[in-house]
Copies of this chain bind each other. A is one copy, B any other.
Amino acid sequence: MTLAPLSSTPRSTLTRKKDRAATDRQALYDVLREGLICHLGLVRDGAPVVLPTGYGRDGDTLYLHGSTGSGNIRDAARGIDVCVTVTLVDAIVYARSLNNHSMNYRSAVIHGRARQVTDADEKTRALRALTDQLAPGSWEHARGVNAKESASVAVIAVDLAEAAVKIRAGDAIDEPEDVETGTAWAGVLPVRTVFGPPEPASYVPDGTPVPPHVHDRA
C-alpha cells in the first residue's frame, strides 16, 4: 500500500535539523502507535494551553476525548485550531562536550482544526481507537459504554493531514577536536518504557487470573 505523503506547509516543514525529518505517513503511524499520551495545545484567551491526554488513531483521523464538563474540550469542540504532539524518548545522548549532549527521540507534531464527533457510529469507532491505544484488549474484555456514559464524553477529531515527524537516533556526535583529544565518556543511554507487574483492584476476588491482554502487554 502506498501512503500519501504528509503535507509540507510552512509550519510542518522543519527549518532546522532537516535530516531529522521523516516525511512519510508510515513514520507518523509508527510514532502514534507507540505513544501512551499526547499533549494537546490550544489557544484560550490569547494564551497557549498544553494538556496531556489520551488519544487514538483510526485511519487518518486522530481522536481525543474528555468530559463534556471540561472547558478546554468544549473549546476544542467548537472547531478551533489545535496542535497535538506525541513524543517518545528513546535515549539520553552523552557527548564529550556539554554542548553536544542530546536525546534520541521520535516526535509527531500534528496541526489541525478540531471537529466534534457527533455521529454515533463515528463516536463508537473513536472510543474504540482510544481504548485500543490506552488498553489494547479492553474493548473486548470490559463492559461497554452505555448511552449515559457516551453522552458524558466529548470526542474530538483531528485530520492527520498536516504533520511533522522528527527523529533523532544513533550515536553521540562530537566536535572533531573532542573526538581526537577528549577523554570524557560519550555514548547512548537507552530509555525504555516498561510495564510492571499488574496490581488487581481491591474488589477483584483473590485468585482471579490476570487476563493475557494485561499480563502479556509489552
CB A77 to nearest CB in B, in angstroms, measures 15
Question: Which residues, 42 to 98 on A, are CB-close (under 8 Å) to B?
Answer: 42-52, 54, 67, 69-71, 81-85, 87, 89, 92, 94-98
With A41-B50, A211-B185 as contacts: A153 and B99 at CB distance below 8 Å: yes
Name A's B-contacting residues (CB within 8 A).
11, 15-16, 36-37, 39-52, 54, 67, 69-71, 81-85, 87, 89, 92, 94-99, 101, 103, 105, 107, 109, 111, 127, 131, 134-135, 138-139, 141-146, 149, 152-153, 171-172, 174, 178-179, 182, 184-204, 208-211, 214, 217
CB pair A127 B145 closer than 8 Å: no
In angstroms, Cα B107 to Cα A188, docked, is 27
CB pair B204 A195 closer than 8 Å: no
Instruction: Please name 25 pairs of A and B residues whose Cβ atoms are closer than 8 Å in the assembled complex, sorted by A.
Output: A36-B103, A37-B103, A41-B49, A41-B83, A43-B48, A46-B81, A47-B81, A48-B49, A52-B87, A94-B135, A97-B144, A98-B139, A98-B142, A101-B131, A101-B142, A141-B184, A174-B203, A185-B209, A186-B201, A187-B198, A187-B200, A187-B210, A188-B199, A189-B214, A190-B196
CB A190 to nearest CB in B, in angstroms, measures 3
A94: chain B residues at CB < 8 Å are: 135, 138, 142, 214
In angstroms, Cα B174 to Cα A204, docked, is 11
In angstroms, Cα B172 to Cα A153, docked, is 19
